[in-house]
A and B are shown apart, each in its own frame.
Chain A
Amino acid sequence: MISFALRHRFPGIALDMAFVAPTPGAVVLFGPSGSGKSTAVAAMAGLLRGGSGRLEVDGEVLWDSAAGIDRPPERRRIGLVFQEARLFPHLRVAANLRYGLRRAAGDARGIGFDEVVALLDIAPLLGRRPHTLSGGERQRVAIGRALLSQPRLLLLDEPLSGLDAARKAEILPYLVRLKTHLGVPLVYVTHSMEELLHIADTLVLIEAGRVVEAGPLAELSGRGDLPLARRDDAGAVLDMAVEANDRDRHLSRLSAGGLTLEVPLVAAAPGARLRVRIPAREVILATDAPSAVSVHNILGGVVRAVHPDPTRHSALVEIAVGDQVVLARVTRDAVSRLALAPARDVLALVKSMSVDVLR
């Protein structure tokens, strides 16, 4: 478990944030720039001067200003990947990777050199000097270097923000692999929705130095009252299992907690876990079952809440389906015509084609 709290006063902004997240898993600190996300990461790393707070990772207290505990950064066993790769220019890639490994305590070693090299695909780069690498390659080496220092917690401060879209797409799968294969807890700072969707298990929404809400991504993404829902790309995120692949109909059946979805055939075997997102504005609501429609997924549920969104003359409707939640954006007119209100039975129509399969 990660437990973190920080209070700090800067000239333009006062920070007062706290969250708790399970480990292993990835925590994403999400919010606009200047909201204090990077300051939080610096405090966790021990690089922030001043301020008060507390950091505990898996039962070990690394910082507690009230109790006078403040381990220096080099003894916190926390890895940090910066926006820029910050590779040591006078060392080759292999020596960069081994820098932290050589300094890690022997009993802490669990992540091997070869394992990291294979995971991040950097074997061809080992003999090169940092200035001959591309931006994406550099960031992969930086991630490997941090991992090899055997951290109890890995912090990533907008690691992809300096890269173009193509490079980002190149690194994202590595980050997802790292999360699922190595079991190192991650704290990931970003303001990119795409990175959030791929990486987060726990989401911490930050605005103006405060935590707006913190919790599992699947839960927060289905809430219509959070700033997340006001976005054009709002939508519920579901972690699902592949039930069956029907090759004749080119469809896969996914399920999660009483909710079943049919989506275009996925490249994953039955039993595999997948994350999908159902964009809120693609969801159609109905009170009677339509016949002869192309939609595959007609999900019977109950309205949990209706939140008007004045900025778009629309409303966000939370629909409980089994123990999952689907979010729908509909017009205010639709809300009144269908008399949508909490506890009302409703059908959510989701086109197979509009479901985003993330991984």
Chain B
Amino acid sequence: MALRSVAMGLPVALLLALVLARGRFPGRFALDALVHLPLVLPPVVVGWLLLLTFGVRGPVGAWLNAWFGLRLVFTTSGASLACAVMSLPLMVRAIRLSIEAVDPGLEQAAQMLGAGRLDRFLTITLPLAAPGVLVGAIAGFAASLGEFGAVITFAANIPGQTQTLPLAIYTALQTPNGDATAARLALVSVALALIFLVAADLAGRRLRARVGR
């Protein structure tokens, strides 16, 4: 589920980061604010807003249901969507910073060598921003694993389907004699967090070494 959330969120985050880093257009500030909203709003509010838009009777949800028979509320896909929205600001921030760090002069040089817009992005900007994209993806993944409020509001707490780690820990704590389970899950959580931190650091270092920075 966390993987699916990153898979859903990353392309969107890349596009948003690129637009925010390099674009100059009216409404840029509004878009920036919108992307960052999940970071400052209580997660439960985000979950409820998702419920309003993507619910079976919501404007987008009704449409999805009618045309594709796709229901997001109280499903794994819904949980992934909630996680993706919640982790989006983290990913956009990391990716945007690394795109902004790419010298626009290099893109200009590529342009003078005959590379079009998409070509430049794929061959110059993206490889040079790769460390930041990776860090963004890992941060997004970790955040998805730990998402609580938005998931429980939008997708409920269904074991094996929409249950994230903190939801499972919460459930265990609510059950009599669940302390041991909760402790085990908490350990798993700490271990995963450590693994991701180390992985992100190693990968980032290797990528940076490749471009000689």
Contacts and interface: CB of A to CB of B under 8 A. Distances in A.
Interface of A: 45, 47, 73-75, 77-80, 82, 84, 86, 88-90, 99-100, 103-104, 129-132, 145-146, 149
B143 to A, nearest CB: 28
A82 B109 contact: yes
B213 A89 contact: yes
Interface stretch (B34-42, B51-59, B113-121, B195-203): B113-121
Contacts of A131: 212-213
Contact of A86 (B109, B115, B119, B127): B109
Given A86-B105, A88-B106, 17 more contacts: A73-B108, A73-B111, A74-B113, A79-B112, A79-B113, A80-B109, A84-B105, A86-B103, A86-B108, A88-B110, A88-B124, A99-B110, A99-B115, A100-B113, A104-B114, A149-B112, A149-B114
Interface in B85-120: 103, 105-106, 108-116, 119
B210 A90 contact: yes
Nearest to B119: A103
Contacts of B105: 82, 84, 86
B212 A149 contact: no
B113 A90 contact: no
A148 to B, nearest CB: 9
Nearest to B210: A90
A88 B210 CA distance: 12
B158 to A, nearest CB: 45
Interface in B177-213: 210-213
A99 B111 CA distance: 11
B108 A47 contact: yes
A146 B112 contact: yes
Interface in B5-46: none
A146 B212 contact: no
B113 A149 contact: yes
Contacts of B106: 86, 88-89
B115 A74 contact: yes
B150 interface: no
B103 to A, nearest CB: 8
Contacts of B115: 74, 99, 103
Contact of B113 (A130, A132, A145): A145
A90 B208 CA distance: 9
Contacts of B116: 74
A80 to B, nearest CB: 4
Contacts of A74: 111-116
A77 B111 CA distance: 10
A129 B212 contact: yes
A78 B212 contact: no
A241 B103 CA distance: 47
Contacts of B213: 89, 131
Contacts of A90: 127-128, 210-211
B112 A73 contact: yes
B212 A130 contact: yes
Contacts of A73: 108, 111-112
A146 B113 contact: yes
Contacts of B113: 74, 79, 99-100, 103, 145-146, 149
A77 B112 CA distance: 8
Interface in B132-191: none
Contacts of B110: 88, 99
A74 B112 CA distance: 5
Nearest to A76: B112
Given A82-B105, A84-B105, A89 B111 contact: no
7 contacts: A74-B111, A74-B115, A77-B114, A79-B112, A86-B109, A88-B124, A149-B114
A73 B120 CA distance: 13
B166 to A, nearest CB: 39
Contacts of A45: 112
B134 to A, nearest CB: 14
Nearest to B128: A90
Contacts of A100: 113-114
B129 to A, nearest CB: 10
B204 to A, nearest CB: 14
B198 to A, nearest CB: 24
9 interchain residue pairs of minimum CB distance: A100-B113, A131-B212, A103-B114, A86-B109, A80-B112, A90-B211, A89-B211, A149-B113, A90-B127
Contacts of A145: 113
A47 B115 CA distance: 14
A32 B108 CA distance: 25
Contacts of A75: 114
A69 B115 CA distance: 20
Contacts of B124: 88
Contact of B212 (A77, A82, A86, A132): A132
A132 B127 CA distance: 19
Contacts of A78: 112
Nearest to A78: B112
Contacts of B111: 47, 73-74
Nearest to B108: A47
